[in-house]
Amino acid sequence: MKKLTHADLWKLEDYARERAAFRARVIAHKKNRTVHLGEHVTLVFEDRLTIQYQVQEMLRIERIFEPQAIDEELGAYNPLIPDGTNLKATMLIEYEDVEVRKRELERLRGIEDMIALEIGSEPPILAIADEDLERSNETKTSAVHFLRFELPPAATARLRAGDPLSFAVEHPHYSARATTTPTVREALLADLD
């Protein structure tokens, strides 16, 4: 998948006009790229469009318009776009109550290293977590992690042949499994072109 460049981005004043329609488009797009692992873990699979939205929002919020600063944002976000042999996701650990969230983030330390992608009878593929920086420490995990699933050619071939696509987590304090819908499966398969 092509990385984003300056040419792919709106200027701030143009984005202000386009934002509502673009946001609605991205929200609809993300529905076919989201997998819920139980009640509290959500995987949102990134692609060029979702990352374009993230960059545009950062530029808007921070009022960034200098070319060098835009380059820095592109440098930070472009690695989250799939490379054709992998799937990339933002993992969210979600608990509404702040005290419950704090307690669970302590209990779920290391969960980011226990997320697996499964395609049919192929061996599970563990996520590679947080390549940009460490998001956990000795006492807790972060509520947000960035995951990469690197698919070997055999697994990609099985997915293209129609095998089911599932995700699982096996942590001492949290266990869940989800098989993707055909719509989500097809959306993620497109990332592997």
- Which residue range is the domain that position 12 belongs to? 1-31+48-81
pTM of this structure: 0.91
Tell whether 149 and 55 lie within a shared domain: no
Regarding predicted confidence, which is higher, 132 or 1? Answer: 1
- Which amino acid, 124? P
Tell me, what CATH number does 134's domain have? 2.60.40
- Statement to judge: residues 103 and 182 lie in one domain: yes
pLDDT for the residue 131: 72
Locate the DSSP E strands across 50-137.
Answer: 86-93, 115-119, 125-126, 128-129
For 124-144, the pLDDT digits (tens) are 999 999 876 666 677 899 999
Is there a single domain that holds both residue 188 and residue 111? yes
Do 41 and 27 belong together in one domain?
Answer: no
Identify whether residues 93 and 122 lie together within a single domain.
yes
Confidence band, pLDDT 50/70/90 cuts, at residue 1? confident
Provide the domain count of the chain: 2
Query: 141 and 126 in one domain?
Result: yes
Residues 177 and 99 in one domain: yes
First to last CA, the chain: 8
Q: What is the pLDDT of residue 132?
A: 67
65 and 40 inside one domain: no
